[in-house]
Structure 1
Amino acid sequence: MSILLTGLAASSGITIAPAHLLVESDLSIKKQHTADENHEVARLHDSFALSKTELQHLSKRAHELLGQRAVTIIDTQIAILDDPTLQKKIIDRINSHHDTAEWAVKRVEDYYLSVFERKNDNEYLYARATALRDVTKRVLSHLLNVSLPDPGLLDHRAIFVANNITPTDTAQFDKRYVAGIVTTNGGRTSHFTIMSKTLSLPAVVGVKDATTIIHDGDLLIVDGIHGKVIVNPTKEEVEHYRLLAGKFIQEQQKWGALKDKQTVSADGRRFEVGANVGTFADVIDAQEDGAEGIGLLRTEFLYMSKDELPTEDQQFNAYKRFVSAMNEQRVVARTLDIGGDKKLGMVALPHEDNPYLGFRAIRIGLARPEILRPQLRALLRASVYGRLAIMFPMIATIEEFQAARAILDEEKEKLEHAGIQVAKNIEVGMMLEIPAVAVMAEHFAKYVDFFSIGSNDLIQYLFAVDRGNQQVAYLYQELHPAVLRMIRQVIEAAHAEGKWVGMCGEMANNAYAVPLLMAMGLDEFSMSSSQILRVRSLINQLNTRKLQPLVHRAIHAETAAEVRKLVEEYVPQVKL
């Protein structure tokens, strides 16, 4: 009897092959102290040097196997090894706490992971955590004299099953034999997605208990489209998925033809499908994957793993690079969104019992204008190099938006007075993440140029649910009629004032939600670049006028399950 496991689709495609478990090395460490700090520091330097040599070798291999984007990922790890701040923190622990080198490395890794990691799906932070873990694992292997597993030893076609697959693991793959990837950990991180997608490997991540349920040699079906893994499938399931795999390949060939065309529905309605990005490598992906703009530029990448706030010039140079690269396509930059579970070492934040509802995002920006003002000045200066829009996160009241907008206008006036050119057509909007704003959308719409619906937080706040908490995650329901009603209300309010509405949360690439959002009039969809062509293809096939009865029935339904069945009835394409 077959077993169905579910996770997150990290790289699209369908594959059928036996499982091969990638067993992790034992790098467990006990707390230990030393009486010879100099010896431990020397061991640390040796382990860093050996790790760098290995990564340089893997970088060359990655260039041959995967191309420049993969090399960038490996080189990021080399840069981590070369970071004097990291080495200094480890050496300081050895000297001040008399830690052994391996224990000091582990403690410093724990510190950085507490900065980078998030409970929720944030690709940039997951990517940073992944890179740090990979580097630390390599350093510890030399300190402990333990060999790391070598995926390159695989000599037959198989699907790798592991707790985690790192970028350097992927760089060692032999493309002749690796058919797909299943991991127990991880989200749709940019690093992992880049590597597996470049190899055209179907991948499903976050599959609970995969390494205990799946055994070496078990036949697997990996459905990287819908995030499914079938263990020891029946003959009927194998045949069904072989047919689906063939259809998917045909669909992919059609998608490629969409890259240089506009996204237009079957009845002639124009939509814009953009990308969520957090690094410049994501921009390269977005362009290759047919993005029509950047719907969300997470500016936090400039602040993470830094000991002090980036200067205005540092920010300007970074934003200029993003805006210039998009060739007059719109780039929507979100001002610094920290707080909650995103901490910055250089910004002291108070302890809070409920940080998700506390001092975060624009609340910090308004209270700490010495952080917000330089960022706004940098964005304004970069605006002349392309088409820039600016949005403020976590706005709860009209007064908050007006205060943030006033600071932006003041900085714009100062720059112009100083003779520094600023674009005349900058759109200024806000993230719509708080249910109170949705209720008052008709009033907010008078002041903003656009709304960008952050569906992840909006849905969490609407249902009072932490979707990272497995006990209550079932309450996070993107297709629930309450969510649909709220979104429709926002879109109608914005359009009544002649304003546009986008969405940059996970709901924007949910194939079941796309037809509903189209029919309700959402103007812009923004998502991980790997999903863009799939969504654009779906939009091209659908007629928004013919979908109106679906919307009417969906908003009057009682449950998310009922809405899902309605979508399947009206739009059978969503099943692929």
Structure 2
Amino acid sequence: VHKPTLAAGFEPIIWRKLGAKELRMAYDPAGHRLRNDPVAAAERERYSLEDADILQLARWAVSIEKHYGMPMDIEWAKDGLSGELFIVQARPETVHSQRQAPTVRLYKLDQRGEILVEGIAVGDALAVGPTRVVESTAQMDEFQPGEVLVTRITDPDWEPIMKKAGAIVTERGGRTSHAAIVARELGIPALVGANQAIAKIGAGREVTVSCVEGETGYVYAGRLPHQVTEVNPFDLPRPRTKIMMNAGSPEQAFRVCQLPHQGVGLARMEFIFASWVRVHPLALTRYQSLDPALRGEVDVLTRGYVDKTEYFVDKLSQGIAVIAAAFWPHQVILRFSDFKTNEYAHLVGGAPFEPHEENPMLGWRGASRYYHPDYKEGFMLEVAAVRRVREKFGLTNLAVMIPFCRTPEEGARVLETMAEGGLARGKDGLEVYVMAEIPSNILQAEEFAELFDGFSIGSNDLTQLTLGVDRDSDRVAPLFDERNAGVKKSCATLIEAAHRKGRKVGICGQAPSDYPEFAAFLVEQGIDTISLTPDAILPTTLKILELEKVPVTAVAAE
């Protein structure tokens, strides 16, 4: 429960979990002892507490903390006969409240060893541990926490494994591949595009994965000696340029929000789809049309929900709300779902509703889905979830963003569709941004500025479409470079055009996290915000601070 908006009169139950509840402990009057009784299936599929109970307990907890002036560990009970709630104990909380301010780790390798493979380095960390080769998600249960994941390529189905990994090595992919993006979100080192990694590394081998030696990362044989230095980023002054964060995982939100930040420049809805919802929205809106086997899969995931669409809205709104609450009161910009058709198809029940496309990267994705009759009802569930977060939970720091919007006319159609669902730009202060990731977004920036509150540069797709480079192709990966003069000119043109119209411009793409000199260029152009992956907050802040202390042109030239 989010305390600030609870105090304002909202009902911000932002997260709950349905437990198994297989047994109930009850008093046995015959034996004068406790016994364990099995719980009926219908009861197990209900939450233990009604919303009214949760909110009452939360209000009492806030009052108790206010009275004592400190965090409190509070115990409560509910009478099994009368249904009354009671506070039975309150004492000072001594675990979470005693934690020290978060620090950032800086790694240094003391010596190099035998190089097994090299690839594109992701992140600025180092990890040691045993390797495990995983060919498919069917091997998910075999993977142990802290192991080094070695595989060919990953997609959203792999995220449960990736969250347990100490490091990730993939044979395919580039700096903006799925494995690279998720590794940055999780703060773990990764090598992507490591050719023949499975054959050269093997399974069960102790290795050192190093992403602390520049743009190229290495997997060394054995556990190499290294140093770790911890720095408190709160000791640093804040730069004039607004530093925001990319945050897609609700599970990580309350950890990474402790880093210095001024909000979230990109929260990816599709990450919440993959980890919290897991079901294709149309499999819920068209539940009765599913074949019996697929309905059975959906039933398992939606246990406890009679209304299948309510499952989607409830789970999605909870995931969004956790991120918005963690970063409250700073703005959180949520990008509506930006899966490609092949990725949507991997969701439970998704295959029947997604076409096969030869090039999903340039196909039916982003804005073009939201108003299309074949997905509009799914988008309306996304809209309903956002409304719940803002209107029921009171988390009005949540803004939204439209991805892959090809034309101003398409942007207008999306805004009309949102308004149909009760989510209108400007209502209760709602800001709507658009991704600038297609050349048309740059060339028609002033027309887009008439529709939206601001732009966020998606340097990954903008680079791909400016240079005509498939960002997932190993063969042309060396040509994919956000520092290309054409890409930089596009960014500068957008910033100038948007500012003429009084609109803000940020960047949420990977470039400033990977290349501090690119961040320096953006600062020179007068960008309003730079949104970084958590692992890049410290090094990029240091670069920007250095930049802001001397003439910008001198640093950029250097």
TM-score range, shorter chain: 0.5 to 0.7
Summarize deviations over 1:41-64 as a string: whole Å, max 9, x none: xxx9xx99xx6xx99xx7xxx7xx
**Pairwise mapping of residues 142-153 of structure 1 onto structure 2 (< 5 A)?**
none
State the partner residue of 1:497: 501
Q: Is residue 208 from structure 1 mapped to residue 202 from structure 2 by the alignment?
A: no
Q: Which amino acid aligns with 1:373?
A: M
State the partner residue of 2:180: 188
State the partner residue of 1:255: 233
- Residue 498 of structure 1: SS of its match in structure 2? coil
Conservation of the 8 A alpha-carbon contact between 1:7 and 1:228:
yes
Q: Distance in 2 between matches of 1:378 and 1:395?
A: 21
Q: Distance in 1 between matches of 2:169 and 2:264?
A: 29
Q: What displacement does 1:503 show?
A: 1.1
Q: Is residue 381 from structure 1 mapped to residue 359 from structure 2 by the alignment?
A: no
Q: Distance in 2 between matches of 1:256 and 1:461?
A: 38
State the partner residue of 2:339: 338
- Larger relative CO (CA 8 A, sep 6+): 1 or 2? 1
Q: What displacement does 1:334 show?
A: 0.9
Q: What displacement does 1:206 show?
A: 4.8
State the partner residue of 1:481: 485
Q: Is residue 306 from structure 1 mapped to residue 259 from structure 2 by the alignment?
A: no
* Structure with more of its chain in helix, by fraction: 1
Q: Which amino acid aligns with 2:355?
A: P
* Residues 350/226 of structure 1: CA separation in 2 closer, same or farther (3 Å cut): same
**Pairwise mapping of residues 14-163 of structure 1 onto structure 2 (< 5 A)?**
22=131, 24=133, 117-118=154-155, 125=156, 128-131=157-160, 134=161
Task: Normalising by structure 1, report the TM-score.
Answer: 0.58
Conservation of the 8 A alpha-carbon contact between 1:275 and 1:294:
yes
**Pairwise mapping of residues 152-301 of structure 1 onto structure 2 (< 5 A)?**
170=166, 187-188=179-180, 190=182, 194=186, 204=191, 206-209=193-196, 222-224=210-212, 226-229=214-217, 249=229, 253=231, 255-258=233-236, 262=238, 264=239, 270-301=240-271
Q: What displacement does 1:321 show?
A: 2.7
Summarize deviations over 1:427-478 as a string: whole Å, max 9, x none: 1111111101211112222221010111111111111110211122222121
* Residues 352/223 of structure 1: CA separation in 2 closer, same or farther (3 Å cut): closer
State the partner residue of 2:459: 455
Task: Normalising by structure 2, report the TM-score.
Answer: 0.60
Q: Which amino acid aligns with 1:257?
A: D
**Pairwise mapping of residues 312-461 of structure 1 onto structure 2 (< 5 A)?**
312-344=313-345, 345-346=349-350, 348-367=353-372, 368-383=375-390, 384-412=394-422, 424-461=428-465
Q: What displacement does 1:360 show?
A: 1.4
Stretches of structure 2 that go unaligned for 5 or more consecutive residues are 1-112, 174-178, 285-308
- Residue 548 of structure 2: SS of its match in structure 1? coil
Q: Distance in 2 between matches of 1:4 and 1:218?
A: 11
Q: Distance in 1 between matches of 2:184 and 2:506?
A: 27
Conservation of the 8 A alpha-carbon contact between 1:465 and 1:475:
yes
Conservation of the 8 A alpha-carbon contact between 2:185 and 2:248:
no
Q: Distance in 1 between matches of 2:356 and 2:206?
A: 48
Q: Which amino acid aligns with 1:276?
A: N
Q: Distance in 2 between matches of 1:321 and 1:8?
A: 32
* Residues 129/540 of structure 1: CA separation in 2 closer, same or farther (3 Å cut): same
Q: Distance in 1 between matches of 2:430 and 2:388?
A: 11
Conservation of the 8 A alpha-carbon contact between 2:492 and 2:525:
yes
* Residues 414/491 of structure 1: CA separation in 2 closer, same or farther (3 Å cut): closer
Q: Which amino acid aligns with 2:235?
A: A
- Residue 319 of structure 1: SS of its match in structure 2? helix
* Residues 407/168 of structure 1: CA separation in 2 closer, same or farther (3 Å cut): closer
State the partner residue of 2:542: 537
Q: Distance in 1 between matches of 2:263 and 2:512?
A: 15
Summarize deviations over 1:220-279 as a string: whole Å, max 9, x none: 79342625456899xxxxxxx99xx88x84xx5263524xx63x1xxxxx2222222222
Q: Which amino acid aligns with 1:274?
A: M
State the partner residue of 1:91: none
Q: Distance in 2 between matches of 1:299 and 1:511?
A: 27
Give % identity. Answer: 25
Q: Distance in 1 between matches of 2:424 and 2:452?
A: 22
Q: Which amino acid aligns with 1:282?
A: Q
Stretches of structure 1 that go unaligned for 5 or more consecutive residues are 29-43, 71-112, 119-124, 135-165, 171-179, 234-240, 265-269, 416-421, 552-565, 571-576
Q: Distance in 1 between matches of 2:220 and 2:213?
A: 19
- Residue 452 of structure 2: SS of its match in structure 1? coil
State the partner residue of 1:520: 525
